[in-house]
Amino acid sequence: MSQTTYLDELNSVQRAAVEQTEGAVMIVAGPGSGKTRVLIYRIAHLINTVAKPYQILALTFTNKAAREMQQRIATIIPDPALTTQLWMGTFHAIFARILRIEAEKIGFPTNFSIYDAEDAKSMIETIIKELQLPTDKYKTNVVSNRISQAKNNLLTPQAYSQHLEVRGNDEAAGLGKIADIYRIYAQRCLQAAAMDFDDLLLKTYILLAKNADVLAKYQQKFKYLLIDEFQDTNPAQYAIVKLLAQQHRNICIVGDDAQSIYAFRGATIQNILNFERDYPEMKTFKLEQNYRSTQHIVQIANEVIAANSNQIAKQIWTSNETGNKTRLLITSSDIEEAKLVADLIFEERLRNHYPNDNFAILYRTNSQSRLFEEALRRRNIPYRVYGGMSFYQRKEVKDIMAYLRLIVNPNDEEALRRIINYPTRGIGKTTTDKLAATARTSSCSLWEVVANVKQTSLTTNTKEAVYSFYKMMRLFSDHAQQIDAYETARYVAKQTGLLQELHNDKTVEGISRYENVMELLASIKDFVDIRKELATADLDNSLGAYLQEVSLLTDADRSENDTPAVRLTTIHNAKGLEFVCVFVVGLEEKLFPSEMAARSEQEIEEERRLFYVAVTRAEKMLTLSFASARNRFGSIQDSVPSRFLGEIKQQYLDIRGGKPTTVHQFATTKNLVATDTGNSIRQNIAATQKLHSNNNNNTIITPPPNFQPSNLSKLTEGMTVIHQRFGRGAVEAIDGRGDKRVATIIFDVLGEKRIMLEFSKLMILE
DSSP 48-64: HHT--GGGEEEEES-HH
- State the pairing for strand pair 326-331/566-570: unpaired
pLDDT of residue 23: 95
Q: What is the pLDDT of residues 338-356, one digit of tens each?
A: 999 999 999 999 999 999 9
Share of the chain above pLDDT 90, in %: 48
Q: How many CA atoms lie within 13 A of 515 on its CB side?
A: 17
pLDDT of residue 538: 56
pLDDT of residue 661: 41
Q: What is the pLDDT of residues 236-246, one digit of tens each?
A: 999 999 999 99
pLDDT of residue 242: 95
DSSP state of 591: B
Task: Count CB neighbours of 697 within 10 A.
Answer: 11
Confidence (pTM): 0.70
- Could you say which of 199, 229, 373, 589 is catalytic? 229
- Could you say which of 102, 198, 199, 228 is catalytic? 228
Cβ distance 348 to 319 under 8 Å?
Answer: no
Does pLDDT of 698 surpass 80? no
Say whether 668 is catalytic. Answer: no
* Of the candidates 260, 240, 228, the residue with the CA atom closest to the CA atom of residue 68: 228
Q: What is the mean pLDDT of residues 441-468?
A: 89
CA dihedral (500, 504, 508, 509) positive or negative: negative
- Could you say which of 15, 35, 608, 620 is catalytic? 35
Does pLDDT of 689 surpass 50? no
DSSP state of 536: T
84 vs 671, more confident: 84
Does pLDDT of 1 surpass 70? no
Residue type, 330: I
pLDDT of residue 692: 37
Collapsing DSSP to helix, strand or coil, 631 comes out as strand
Collapsing DSSP to helix, strand or coil, 723 comes out as strand
Does pLDDT of 688 surpass 50? no
Q: What is the pLDDT of residues 115-150, one digit of tens each?
A: 777 678 877 988 898 899 998 899 999 999 999 999
Dist CA 371 CA 364 (whole Å): 14
pLDDT of residue 758: 80
pLDDT of residue 211: 96
Provide the strand spans (E) within 381-455. Answer: 383-385
Contacts of 757 (CB under 8 A, 6+ apart): 712, 715, 734, 741, 742, 743
Dist CA 604 CA 263 (whole Å): 12
Residue type, 416: L
- Could you say which of 3, 36, 295, 495 is catalytic? 36
Backbone angles phi, psi at 637, to 5 degrees: -120, 140
Dist CA 577 CA 448 (whole Å): 51
Contacts of 644 (CB under 8 A, 6+ apart): 304, 587, 592, 593, 608, 611
- Could you say which of 42, 223, 525, 617 is catalytic? 617
* pLDDT band per the 50, 70, 90 thresholds, residue 300: very high
Does pLDDT of 639 surpass 90? no
Residue type, 473: M
Dist CA 745 CA 29 (whole Å): 54
- Could you say which of 259, 368, 665, 724 is catalytic? 259
Say whether 35 is catalytic. Answer: yes
Q: What is the mean pLDDT of residues 647-666?
A: 69
Beta sheet of 251-255, edge-to-edge order: 87-90, 56-60, 224-227, 251-255, 25-29, 283-287
Q: What is the mean pLDDT of residues 707-730?
A: 86
Q: What is the pLDDT of residues 555-599, one digit of tens each?
A: 332 334 557 999 999 999 898 899 999 999 999 998 999 887 767
* pLDDT band per the 50, 70, 90 thresholds, residue 633: low
Say whether 334 is catalytic. Answer: no
Q: What is the pLDDT of residues 260-289, one digit of tens each?
A: 888 878 888 898 988 999 999 999 999 999
pLDDT of residue 102: 94
Peptide bond just before 564 cis, omega within 30 deg: no
Dist CA 739 CA 758 (whole Å): 5
Collapsing DSSP to helix, strand or coil, 69 comes out as helix
Residue type, 474: R
Alpha-carbon distance values, 419 to 56, 512, 627 (Å): 53, 20, 36
Q: What is the pLDDT of residues 151-177, one digit of tens each?
A: 999 999 999 999 999 999 999 989 999
Q: What is the pLDDT of residues 503-528, one digit of tens each?
A: 888 777 788 888 889 989 988 998 88
539 vs 201, more confident: 201
* pLDDT band per the 50, 70, 90 thresholds, residue 536: low
* pLDDT band per the 50, 70, 90 thresholds, residue 668: very low
* pLDDT band per the 50, 70, 90 thresholds, residue 644: very high
Lowest mean pLDDT among 42-56, 487-501, 718-732: 718-732
pLDDT of residue 190: 85
Does pLDDT of 735 surpass 90? no
Q: What is the mean pLDDT of residues 25-29?
A: 94
Say whether 36 is catalytic. Answer: yes
Beta sheet of 742-747, edge-to-edge order: 751-756, 742-747, 727-735, 720-723, 762-764
C-alpha of 117 from chain center: 19
Does pLDDT of 324 surpass 70? yes
State the chain's mean pLDDT as an integer.
85
Q: What is the pLDDT of residues 605-631, one digit of tens each?
A: 999 999 999 999 999 999 999 998 888
Does pLDDT of 100 surpass 60? yes
* Of the candidates 603, 666, 610, the residue with the CA atom closest to the CA atom of residue 639: 666
Dist CA 743 CA 717 (whole Å): 9
Does pLDDT of 672 surpass 50? no
Does pLDDT of 363 surpass 80? yes
Task: Mark residue 119 as left, alpha or beta (left: phi above 0; alpha: psi -120 to 50; beta: remaining).
Answer: alpha
Does pLDDT of 550 surpass 80? no
- State the pairing for strand pair 742-747/751-756: antiparallel
Dist CA 583 CA 705 (whole Å): 25
Peptide bond just before 593 cis, omega within 30 deg: yes
pLDDT of residue 685: 36
C-alpha of 330 from chain center: 23
* Of the candidates 185, 189, 198, the residue with the CA atom closest to the CA atom of residue 154: 198
